Structure 1
Amino acid sequence: MKQDKKLVVAISSRALFDLDESHRIFEAEGKDAFCRYQIEHEDETLEPGVAFTLVRKLLALNPALPEPLVEVILLSRNSADTGLRVFNSIRRHGLDIARAAFTSGQSPFGYIGAFGADLFLSANAEDVALALDRGHAAATILDSNPAHNADSQLRIAFDGDAVLFSDEAERIYQADGLGAFTENEVEKAKTPLSGGPFKAFLASLHHIQSLFPPDLAPIRTALVTARGAPAHERVVRTLRAWNIRIDEALFLGGMDKGPFLRAFGADIFFDDQQKHCASASGHVATGHVPHGIANPQVLPGPARPDGKA
């Protein structure tokens, strides 16, 4: 367990930068062609990827803090050789990222714990599934069409069940339907839900928020859930029991989440269900959390030396 209060986010190169062209070359022509392409273009600066704004805003928190409490590290399936273009681009974009692991095609998930990362973001769903299986908060960054949010405040939105909370209530919904789910949540309204994979990450954000007056905090969080009344009460009481602040709570009762996330101005949204991710990704950067009953068990095969980031 981490003893310090530093917030550490690990990110893959394909989540940080737009590497679609080199990835297409890999898919069409193989690893050798991919490596040649990266080396030949290593002096060309990569364009921002889906999670670039999130990373930039995370790193921008440090100057406002009494001491630097945020670190971003790079975990990449590139080799150090092909990864040189990535580090060149990090420098040219002015991102304060100094630590990295390049694994030459192997999954880098084993280094998440070694770096003490609170969150892992990757475009590789297999790596994300492996990380979640080991108890790390992790999400697959999806192709998204995020609206430009020029506000310097970092805004992060979360789904509830199977993300911030365990999937215990969702299991009842999946097995017995909405009526049984609602009845269970009303009956257990004063019994806090167990924590999900993103509880510790939210707690780390809360710690940074607590260093500022509420109206001046550089981070704003939101719970955006398909729950509605009366199933809302258990959620409110759970966050109260955890002593974790959430700035906005949207109980949508099954409504489409995308427009609400755009209205909130989320820099990223995390959800366990593909249908909600599909709605969100048309409006904001989105991370799919393949965790809980709504996702089939993923049994990854051996990692391939394919150069994927």
Structure 2
Amino acid sequence: MTGSDRELLSEKPLRIGISTRALFDLEEEHRVLSEQGVQAYASLQRDRESTVIKKGTGFDVVDRLLKLNEPDYPPYVEVILLSRNSPDLSLRAFHSIDYYGLAVKTGSFTSGRSLAPFIPAWEIDLFLSNEADDVKAAIAAGTAAARLGPPPRAREGRHEDEVRIAFDGDAVVFSPESDEIFKEQGLPGFLKHEVENATKPMDVGPFGNFMKKLSILRNIYLRDDGVSRVRIAIVTARNAPAHARVINTLRAWGTPADEAHFVGRREKSTILAAFGAHIFFDDQEKHVVGASQLVPSGHVPGPHDPDLPIIPAG
């Protein structure tokens, strides 16, 4: 850890924006909204105002990140609640936040309007939501964002003092440049391109800057034995020889991953469960759907057809 890292995040914390439906399990209430309308939904929420909401897909990672903050020291992590609920319905959310002891004090409630304008206004580094339009708008504005899937069937309380975050590589942490090579030239052209450019760092993708800032937080909690309370993994369909460019890019960025899993054609879900991911981000819906059965997962919107393979293993 360096003093400059602490000062950097104290002056400009890692800011997570999260919707109420991403933080809490409000699927029943959302069904009422979809099927019966706003008035029925508002009535149900007011009737349940004193009822604590169950934890949602994004709860665990938010809770763990906030617990990294040190008492009597400016926070390294801030979480802002961004909700399409009306201000009148904000009481239940903050009642549940207080019940769980989350250090979330600020937020915006827009009465059904888009949250997109408030993401840059709050200087959000990562936005988590179940609303596809808000997620796409956030990414278009240059903010890392993901649409969360349902909560996993079972929640495991492993690694209580850590936060473990896993990322896909291409079109998530890294730019979609190599994806485009694959689409235009096929697998042989892709492999040739990656071998020839193995030492050339890739450009940042939609989550590149978020990972760089997360790495500063990782460094603050890095012990002398090289282990941090913030653990980062890359889980990618790349395998050798295309793996080398991933490692060289991370070196060039100064953002080492604690783990890298080059899974080829293998499903990612079991690898993510073994890693103990508290959240996983991928740009292919099929990987998110599979992983969300075992770990909290979020889809990063991209230019791909969700049914087409992206950079399959050679």
Matched, 1:246 2:253: no
- Find the aligned partners of 2:155 and 2:87 in 1 and give their Cα distance: 33
- Find the aligned partners of 1:236 and 1:35 in 2 and give their Cα distance: 50
Q: Secondary structure at the match of 1:204?
A: helix
2:219 paired residue among 210, 216, 222: 210
- 1:78-131: CA deviations, max 9, x gaps? 001112111111111111101100000011121111111110000111110111
Q: Is 1:161–1:196's contact at 8 Å kept on the other side of the alignment?
A: yes
Q: CA deviation at 1:176?
A: 2.6
1:110 paired residue among 117, 125, 128: 117
2:169 paired residue among 125, 147, 160: 160
- Find the aligned partners of 1:16 and 1:285 in 2 and give their Cα distance: 11
Q: Secondary structure at the match of 1:71?
A: strand
- Find the aligned partners of 1:72 and 1:144 in 2 and give their Cα distance: 19
TM-score w.r.t. structure 2 length?
0.90
Q: Is 1:147–1:262's contact at 8 Å kept on the other side of the alignment?
A: no
1:148 paired residue among 143, 156, 175: 156
1:93 is matched with: 100
- Find the aligned partners of 2:248 and 2:35 in 1 and give their Cα distance: 52
Q: Secondary structure at the match of 1:255?
A: coil
Q: CA deviation at 1:64?
A: 7.4
Q: Is 1:132–1:291's contact at 8 Å kept on the other side of the alignment?
A: no
Q: CA deviation at 1:38?
A: 0.7
- Find the aligned partners of 2:71 and 2:265 in 1 and give their Cα distance: 38
- Find the aligned partners of 2:289 and 2:300 in 1 and give their Cα distance: 13
Q: CA deviation at 1:67?
A: 3.8
1:54 paired residue among 53, 61, 84: 61
Q: Which runs of 4+ in 1 moved over 6 A?
A: none
- Find the aligned partners of 2:284 and 2:240 in 1 and give their Cα distance: 21
Q: How many correspondences in the alignment? A: 295
CA gap 1:64/1:209 in 2 versus in 1, 3 angstroms: farther
Name the structure, 1 or 2, with higher relative contact order (CA <8 Å, separation 6+): 1
Matched, 1:178 2:187: yes
Q: Secondary structure at the match of 1:148?
A: coil
2:240 paired residue among 215, 225, 229: 229
The one-letter code matched in structure 2 to 1:169 is S
Q: Is 1:149–1:265's contact at 8 Å kept on the other side of the alignment?
A: no
- 1:260-308: CA deviations, max 9, x gaps? 0000000000000111112211110000000244569xxxxxxxxxxxx
Q: Is 1:258–1:280's contact at 8 Å kept on the other side of the alignment?
A: yes
- Find the aligned partners of 2:233 and 2:156 in 1 and give their Cα distance: 18
2:132 paired residue among 103, 112, 125: 125
User: Where does structure 2 lack aligned partners over 5 or more consecutive residues?
Assistant: 1-8, 308-314
User: Where does structure 1 lack aligned partners over 5 or more consecutive residues?
Assistant: 297-309
Q: Is 1:267–1:285's contact at 8 Å kept on the other side of the alignment?
A: yes
Q: Is 1:5–1:204's contact at 8 Å kept on the other side of the alignment?
A: no
TM-score w.r.t. structure 1 length?
0.91
Q: Secondary structure at the match of 1:200?
A: helix
